[in-house]
Amino acid sequence: MELIVRDFIMEHFFTHGFYSDKQYGFIKGRSTMLLLLKIQLDLGKQIDVIYTDFEKAFDKVSDHALINKLRAYVLDDTLIQWLQDVLCNRIQRVGINGFLMMVFS
């Protein structure tokens, strides 16, 4: 389900021109390695690279700020409500020895 929603949002962003031609990374067919090669070919010079890992940075994004940002990109209200329910209002249940525990996010 997440892939379907992601693909829908990505298509919306592409259709409405929210991505620059200079945007690389997190886009199918536009890896950061491809960007480095393009820069090297365009400039014809050596490229020095520093790699950083931002994986945990995305855990720090406020769910409410993300929802507000998506509203600004004129996504469908039903989709935004679904995303808000998934991100902000979800409840998980864990069963242990016949007992259910609810975990709120």
Q: Which residue has the higher pLDDT, 72 or 29?
A: 72
The pLDDT, as a whole number, for residue 101 is 78
Number of domains in the chain: 2
Rg of the chain over Cα atoms, rounded to whole angstroms, equals 19
For residue 19, pLDDT over 80 is answered with yes
Claim to verify: residue 61 and residue 103 sit in the same structural domain: yes
Backbone angles phi, psi at 27, to 5 degrees: -125, 130
pLDDT in tens, 33-56: 888 888 888 887 777 777 666 666
Q: Which residue has the higher pLDDT, 21 or 59?
A: 21
Question: 24 and 30 in contact (C-beta within 8 Å)?
Answer: yes
For residue 105, pLDDT over 70 is answered with no
Reported pTM: 0.61
Claim to verify: residue 58 and residue 94 sit in the same structural domain: yes
Claim to verify: residue 105 and residue 61 sit in the same structural domain: yes
Domain that holds residue 32: 1-49
The pLDDT, as a whole number, for residue 57 is 63
Claim to verify: residue 62 and residue 80 sit in the same structural domain: yes
The pLDDT, as a whole number, for residue 32 is 79
